[in-house]
Amino acid sequence: MSVTTLIGAAIGSAIDGSSGDDSNLDGAIGGAIAAKVITAVIPLALTFATGWFVLRGIGKLKDEVFGTDEPVRR
């Protein structure tokens, strides 16, 4: 079990325990699951964003060097 999972479980348990209507176990489980999902989603989102910005930059550079492909209106 990783540190982020343990921190997520502790935070989830604390949040769920503040309501006082049930045990902290379900909050700990939810927090651990959320921590695992976040550790998987954040790298994917950063990779996607980096690729999008690179492709956008390459497209703008191409347009500056070669001009746009838009037809000229008369």
Answer whether residue 72 is part of any domain.
no
Answer whether residue 43 is part of any domain.
yes
pLDDT at position 61 is 87
The tally of domains found in the chain comes to: 1
DSSP track, 3-70? HHHHHHHHHHHHHHHHH-SS-SHHHHHHHHHHHHHHHHHHHHHHHHHHHHHHHHHHHHHHHHHH---P
Answer whether residue 45 is part of any domain.
yes
d(CA 39, CA 52): 21
Answer whether residue 47 is part of any domain.
yes
pLDDT at position 56 is 92
State which residues form the domain around 57. 3-66
Answer whether residue 28 is part of any domain.
yes
pLDDT at position 24 is 76
pLDDT at position 42 is 92
Displacement of CA 40 from its chain's centroid (Å): 8
pLDDT at position 72 is 66
Answer whether residue 31 is part of any domain.
yes
pLDDT tens-digit profile, the chain (74 residues)? 678 788 888 888 887 777 666 677 878 888 888 888 888 899 999 999 999 999 999 988 888 888 876 766 77
